[in-house]
Amino acid sequence: MGHLDEYRVEDLPGADVLYIPDFIPKETASEWYQALEQSCTWYHPKLKVYGKEVSQSRSIAAYATDPSITVKYSGHTVNMIYTYPAILQSIQEAVEERLGVKFNHVMLNRYENGMEYIGRHRDTKENRVIASLSLGAVRTFIFTPTKNAGESASLKKIPLLNGSLLVMKGDTQKLWRHEIPKEPKILDGRISLTFRQLDL
């Protein structure tokens, strides 16, 4: 991914993050938003939080290229679908082509408005590539350093634009957490597609 060096995000010591603000034109982003809203199998996962079952506020849809791929989080086994809708297939190919890497799983998140969020967390600690495409409302992505990120590390906010691509790799997950906080003033929806490389 050396050809993408110009997109490297500064001020994230130890992390390896690229941000391409104009990965696709806004008009394409709006078309993809509508197509995905209609063609994906969305649902609200039921999670176990301190032993209680709660319905996750944001809905998700999940696809994988190989039937051996399964994902579980917070006591919930993700409803994985092994056939991509055509639009999703072509979006994954566009991301793969731009980055020069292959993915075998995509998790889509749909935030109806600014009240829906994702709490501060880390993804797999392995140093695989995770690429996240943003469609719709601009939401703020916040990186928070762990202790191991060093003295100079401090919170970093990135407003994720409609049609932008954020790429995390290397030690990013090991040293930093990320979240999309509530922003109650935002009334519009956002869909993110997080492309991943999982073990078969």
The site for ligand AKG (CB under 6 A) is made up of 107, 109, 118, 123, 132, 178, 180, 192, 194
Q: How far is the CB of 151 from ligand AKG (least distance, A)?
A: 26
H or E segment at 62? Answer: strand 59-64
Q: How far is the CB of 189 from ligand AKG (least distance, A)?
A: 12
Rounded Cα distance between 100 and 54, Å, is 39
Q: How far is the CB of 121 from ligand AKG (least distance, A)?
A: 6
Identity of the residue, 56 or 153, whose beta carbon is nearer to ligand AKG in the bound complex = 56
Q: How far is the CB of 114 from ligand AKG (least distance, A)?
A: 13
Please name the residues in contact with 199: beta carbons below 8 A apart, sequence gap of 6 or more.
none
Identity of the residue, 106 or 153, whose beta carbon is nearer to ligand AKG in the bound complex = 106
Identity of the residue, 51 or 190, whose beta carbon is nearer to ligand AKG in the bound complex = 190
The residue at minimum Cβ distance from ligand AKG is 192
Identity of the residue, 153 or 164, whose beta carbon is nearer to ligand AKG in the bound complex = 164
Q: How far is the CB of 141 from ligand AKG (least distance, A)?
A: 6
Identity of the residue, 17 or 180, whose beta carbon is nearer to ligand AKG in the bound complex = 180
Q: What's the token pair of residue 162?
A: 């409609």
Could you tell me if residue 188 is left (phi over 0), alpha (psi between -120 and 50 degrees) or otherwise beta? beta
Compute CA distances 186 → 57, 116, 136, 140, whole Å: 16, 10, 11, 11
DSSP codes of every residue in 78-127: --EESS--HHHHHHHHHHHHHHT---SEEEEEEE-STT--EEEE---SS-
